Amino acid sequence: MVNMLDHVTPSADPAIEKLGFDEALAELQRTVAELEAGGQPLERALALHERGAALLEHCNRLLTDADLRVRQLVAVAGKGLQAVDVKPDEAQEVPESGAG
């Protein structure tokens, strides 16, 4: 089976790839703290370091590659509120007459 991500990030942990920024950051902070506390067997330390580096890389990539996503909240008759993806410069002025 071919992993579609292989050609992009050959060494990336797929579990890390799925993490959101905040989750990855929180885990990174835990990892650093644990490694700094020390006292673990060498294998554990190496694993922590490797995971920390991967988390860091993931955070960095998210920060670098992210594009601001904008959704506009509109009231659709009969459907209530809907958040519609828009480009920032294509957002629409309010057409309605105050129904909310």
Partner 1 sequence: MTRPQPPDWTLPAWDALPDERAPAARPPVAPGTFGLRILNVSDVSRAIREAVRGDERLRDVWVEGEVSRVTISSAGHAYFALKDERSQLQCVWFRDERLRSAFEPQAGLRIVVHGRVDLFEPQGALQLYVESIQPAGFGDLALRFEALKARLATEGLFDAGRKRPLPSRPATIGVVTSPTGVVWRDISHVLARRWPLARVVLVACRVQGEGAPASIVTALRRLDRYIEECRAAGRPEDAPAVTILARGGGSLEDLWAFNDEAVVRAVVAHTVPLVCGVGHEVDVTLADFAADVRAPTPSAAAEIVVPDRLEFAASLRRANDRLRNAMGARLATAARDLAVERRALDRLSPVARLAAGREQVGLLFDRATRAIEARLAGDGMRLERAADTLSRQATGRVAAARAALSGAAAALAVLGPQATLDRGYAIVRRTADGAIVRDPADAPTGTALRLRVARGELPATVDPDGRG
Q: Which is nearer to partner 1, 7 or 92 (CB)?
A: 92
Position of tokens 């580096």? 53
CA distances to 5, 9, 21, 24, 84 from 78, rounded to whole Å, are 42, 45, 36, 40, 16
CB of residue 12 to partner 1, shortest distance in Å? 17
Q: Which is nearer to partner 1, 1 or 64 (CB)?
A: 64
Q: How far apart are CA 44 and CA 46, in angstroms?
A: 5
Q: Which is nearer to partner 1, 7 or 85 (CB)?
A: 85
Token pair in block for residue 51: 């995971």
Give me the residues that bind partner 1 (CB under 8 A), please.
20-22, 28-29, 31-32, 35-36, 38, 40, 42, 45-46, 49, 52-53, 56, 59-60, 62-63, 66-73, 75, 81, 83, 86, 88-89, 91-94, 98-100
Q: Which is nearer to partner 1, 6 or 50 (CB)?
A: 50
Token pair in block for residue 15: 């579990």
Q: How far apart are CA 6 and CA 12, in angstroms?
A: 8
CB of residue 67 to partner 1, shortest distance in Å? 6
